[in-house]
Amino acid sequence: MAERVRFPTRLRPHAKTHKCSQVAALQIEAGAIGVTTATVWEAAALARAGIGDILIANEIVGPAKIARAVEAGSAARLTVAVDAIDNAKDLSAALADADSEAGVLVDVDIGMGRCGVRSAAEALEVANAVSQLPNLRFDGVMGFEGHCSLEPRRDKRTRLTRAALAKLLETAEHIRANGIPVETISAGGTGTFDLTGTDPNVTELQAGSYAFMDTAHAAVVSGFDFALTVLATVISRHGSTVVLDVGKKTLGLETPAPIIPTTPSSIRYVAEEHTVVDLEGVQSMKVGQQIEVVPSYCPVTVNLHDAYLVVDDDVVVDVWPLVARGAGWSSGDAIR
Amino acid sequence: MAERVRFPTRLRPHAKTHKCSQVAALQIEAGAIGVTTATVWEAAALARAGIGDILIANEIVGPAKIARAVEAGSAARLTVAVDAIDNAKDLSAALADADSEAGVLVDVDIGMGRCGVRSAAEALEVANAVSQLPNLRFDGVMGFEGHCSLEPRRDKRTRLTRAALAKLLETAEHIRANGIPVETISAGGTGTFDLTGTDPNVTELQAGSYAFMDTAHAAVVSGFDFALTVLATVISRHGSTVVLDVGKKTLGLETPAPIIPTTPSSIRYVAEEHTVVDLEGVQSMKVGQQIEVVPSYCPVTVNLHDAYLVVDDDVVVDVWPLVARGAGWSSGDAIR
């Protein structure tokens, strides 16, 4: 992916997809400028593990989370997203107390209708406030065209993405026109990488799922292999129907359907602890046999597990912990 | 629930709903005869924590899982589900090696189309084999009417449940008619507790979700309070729309929609890390405010978390770990 984005866009892959410092380090080695996270615990855990440049692409609200972000900022170059002046003030105060600083991207709603300022005027107000607050460095704007990235029709995906990016770029221009430099324009996901990652105005692409892929992303982009599978065991067979010991609690989502690349088959349903598979043609699959299942949506899958078994040429060569899974309970401070 | 089932039915609540030894102990104190689990790790972790009577209501296939089940059986009275003679042989051999034993319920498919024998004749064959295998004790039959339990129409739910139970009871009668005593007939879930749990032929009810409840179960049964909530923080507000910092990675499933009991509102959507809520009427909810969200389906929710904060009268009085979450990686033996 680092080779597919086009200058001036650089890759800042989303680590919510793997929550693993070893994967993040490989991405940076391959050309990424740092990582993106969704949660403060992802940022703190990856910073502790040596990842040096982190964007928390989400609003950080409340003393406990702000303390975590400051912790991440003590170990890594930190950038955060902000959509409200009061929140910027809270961040500024906590960073000042710690004698630390963070970059800020103003979060712009470009179509998801959740976080993010709703207009260029509002973005300018927040950018102005951030520029004047101590220990904050206004870096630019970010948005997420999540409503476009899994749109199956290529022409519609292109149209929606260009409209979303236009809103982000207009916002950046409005801020610049009012005398505030905008260095960073950050957006994107795997489903829109070839649009957002090649836009001459976008400086950072937040795509993440490309690293592992899954059936949702394989439906819209090509050129990235399936790297993440869940190992299943056949626990029951009745005619051409087999039952696997994986389900929503291990695979994650049910739609789009997971697939079994090695076995002509269709998934009838994914239950809590079982997946029911209809085999195509005559197959010798037996109870006890193990097969690999490609999940529906990898970020939700990895959130269910504690470690990766790293396989090279059918041999398990390493175990990588998902250090950024959960909310940081293991350190005890979430329970204070 | 222990008081609502009718003799001879006894409650054996499903611990997949909580994965927590403290909750299991409270259930037994209130009249449950033991617990049910879906996985061998749930069984092993709860047995280690002192839960003395455990049914693994699932097929246990492969040496690693069978070893875990034997481990559970060394600390608790163990019963397992079986739907194939070869699997019974594997279990028998492993239990014999450990000088241990387990009860066996023949798993009968009563409508889910996944695990379980497909006919009374097949059930008899497995029961016969189990009766003759060393270190196994044939106890009876089990089924799960999961296709009935969340059916919203009361009359249809009743009709479907009675048909499913009829298949289970006919299977038990067929085994008895061939000279093998059937002591245990186990089935049920929270959605069918008032049918299965009051049937004069059913001896064990596997209902679990009643303990915490959720919006899926509240749609079909009444008389049980919401005991499980996910604490959310408002991280962004735009007019009457607020964004919470909880999503599929913390709440679990998106449908049926979670609810916020304290706040007149509707959930617009549940994303990975966000829930978008439309407030009804004029409300003062502010960024930073914390609110409790009742999840869609509690067993999937608890699978995402490492501990419960136990709240009594608005004070956190204890922290209970989900000892049975995951696959037992922490002990290292899943990686052998």
More confident residue, B334 or A247: A247
Query: What is the C-alpha separation between A32 and A50, in angstroms, rounded?
Result: 15
* B111 CB within 8 Å of a chain A CB: no
Given the structure tokens 């009427």, which residue do they identify? B281
Full DSSP string of A88-120: HHHHHHHHHHTT--EEEEEEB-SSSSSSSBSSH
Query: What is the C-alpha separation between B91 and B95, in angstroms, rounded?
Result: 6
Query: What is the C-alpha separation between A158 and A193, in angstroms, rounded?
Result: 11
CA dihedral sign of residues A320, A292, A229, B70: negative
Q: What share of chain B is helix, strand, coil (3-state, %, to 5)?
A: 30, 25, 45
Query: What is the C-alpha separation between A70 and B203, in angstroms, rounded?
Result: 56
Query: What is the C-alpha separation between A205 and A27, in angstroms, rounded?
Result: 13
Query: What is the C-alpha separation between A158 and B66, in angstroms, rounded?
Result: 52
- List the alpha helices (DSSP H) in A178-303: 193-196, 215-218, 298-302
Burial A319-329, CB ≥16 within 10 A → b, else e: eebbbbbbbbe
* B333 CB within 8 Å of a chain A CB: no
Q: What is the mean pLDDT of residues B14-26?
A: 98
* A285 CB within 8 Å of a chain B CB: no
Tens of pLDDT, residue by residue over A176-218, are: 999 999 999 999 999 999 999 999 999 999 999 999 999 999 9
Q: Using alpha carbons only, give the angle B286, B291, B292 rounded to the nearest 5 degrees.
A: 165
Query: What is the C-alpha separation between B108 and A150, in angstroms, rounded?
Result: 40
Tokens of residue B191, six digits? 């959605």
Helix (H), strand (E) counts: chain A: 10, 15
Instruction: Say if CB A227 and CB A218 are below 8 A apart.
Output: no
> What's the residue count for chain B?
336
The pLDDT-based confidence of A332 (bands split at 50, 70, 90) is: very low
- Beta-bridged to residue A102, according to DSSP, are A136
Tens of pLDDT, residue by residue over B31-73, are: 999 999 999 999 999 999 999 999 999 999 999 999 999 999 9
Q: From chain B, pick out residues whose CB is under 8 angstroms from the CB of A290.
A: 62
Q: In sequence order, what are the residues at sequence separation of 6 or more whose Cβ sits closer than 8 angstroms to the Cβ of residue A78?
A: A43, A47, A54, A55, A56, A69, A72, A100, A102, A103
The predicted structure's pLDDT at residue A21: 98
Tokens of residue B4, six digits? 């609502």
Given the DSSP bridges, would you call strands B102-107 and A53-59 parallel, antiparallel or unpaired?
unpaired
Q: Of the candidates B84, B248, B330, which has its C-beta nearest A287's C-beta?
A: B84
ipTM attached to this prediction: 0.96
Instruction: Say if CB B213 and CB B21 are below 8 A apart.
Output: no
* B310 CB within 8 Å of a chain A CB: no
How many CB atoms within 10 Å of residue B266? 12
Tokens of residue B43, six digits? 């069984």
In the Cβ-directed half-sphere of A229, how many Cα atoms lie within 13 Å?
17
The pLDDT-based confidence of A281 (bands split at 50, 70, 90) is: confident
Q: How many contacts (CB atoms, under 8 Å) link A and B?
A: 126
Tens of pLDDT, residue by residue over A147-165, are: 999 999 999 999 999 999 9
The pLDDT-based confidence of A327 (bands split at 50, 70, 90) is: confident
Query: What is the C-alpha separation between B232 and B229, in angstroms, rounded?
Result: 9
* A313 CB within 8 Å of a chain B CB: no
Q: From chain B, pick out residues whose CB is under 8 angstroms from the CB of A235.
A: 58-61, 115
The predicted structure's pLDDT at residue A330: 47
Query: What is the C-alpha separation between A217 and A226, in angstroms, rounded?
Result: 10
Q: Quick one: CA torsion of A24, A27, A32, A38, rounded to 10 degrees?
A: -40
Given the structure tokens 């246990």, which residue do they identify? B60
Q: At what angle do helices B40-48 and B63-75 cross, to 10 degrees?
A: 30
Q: Do B62 and A114 touch (CB under 8 A)?
A: no
The predicted structure's pLDDT at residue A329: 58
* B268 CB within 8 Å of a chain A CB: yes
The SS3 of residue B80 is: strand
State yes or no: pLDDT of B333 exceeds 80: no
Q: Do A114 and B236 touch (CB under 8 A)?
A: yes
Tens of pLDDT, residue by residue over B248-286, are: 999 999 999 999 999 999 999 999 999 999 999 888 899
Percent of chain B with pLDDT over 70: 98
State yes or no: pLDDT of B327 exceeds 90: no
The predicted structure's pLDDT at residue A298: 98
Q: In sequence order, what are the residues at sequence separation of 6 or more whose Cβ sits closer than 8 angstroms to the Cβ of residue A36?
A: A12, A13, A14, A15, A16, A54, A55, A56, A57, A186, A206, A208
Q: Using alpha carbons only, give the angle A264, A269, A271 rounded to the nearest 5 degrees.
A: 130
What's the N-to-C CA distance of chain A in angstroms?
41
Tens of pLDDT, residue by residue over B135-151, are: 999 999 999 999 999 99
Closest by CA position to B127, among listed B173, B77, B188: B173
Q: Do A287 and B245 touch (CB under 8 A)?
A: no
Q: Quick one: CA torsion of A252, A257, A262, A268, rounded to 10 degrees?
A: 110
Query: Strand ranges (DSSP E) for chain A?
Result: 10-11, 35-37, 53-59, 77-82, 102-107, 136-142, 184-187, 204-205, 230-238, 241-244, 265-270, 275-279, 290-293, 307-312, 315-321
Q: Quick one: CA torsion of A48, A49, A52, A53, rounded to 10 degrees?
A: -80
Q: Do B253 and A249 touch (CB under 8 A)?
A: no
Instruction: Say if CB B279 and CB B234 are below 8 A apart.
Output: no
Q: Of the candidates B273, B300, B327, which has its C-beta nearest A39's C-beta?
A: B273
Preferred mutation among B231, B234, B235, B333 to probe A, highest tally of A CBs within 10 A: B235
Q: From chain A, pick out residues whose CB is under 8 angstroms from the CB of B115.
A: 235-236, 243, 274
The predicted structure's pLDDT at residue B214: 98
How many CB atoms within 10 Å of residue B109? 23
Query: What is the C-alpha separation between B209 and B221, in angstroms, rounded?
Result: 11
The predicted structure's pLDDT at residue B147: 96
Closest by CA position to A120, among listed A196, A202, A58, A180: A180
Instruction: Say if CB A31 and CB B257 are below 8 A apart.
Output: no
Instruction: Say if CB B310 and CB B322 are below 8 A apart.
Output: no
CB-neighbour burial class of residue A281 (10 A; exposed 0-12, middle 13-18, buried 19+): exposed
Q: Of the candidates A235, A327, A329, which has its C-beta nearest B61's C-beta?
A: A235
Given the structure tokens 């059918």, which residue do they identify? A314
Q: Of the candidates A115, A233, A305, which has its C-beta nearest B236's C-beta?
A: A115
The pLDDT-based confidence of B329 (bands split at 50, 70, 90) is: low
Q: Do B146 and A304 touch (CB under 8 A)?
A: no
Tens of pLDDT, residue by residue over B169-224, are: 999 999 999 999 999 999 999 999 999 999 999 999 999 999 999 999 999 999 99
Amino acid at B287: V
State yes or no: pLDDT of A73 exceeds 50: yes
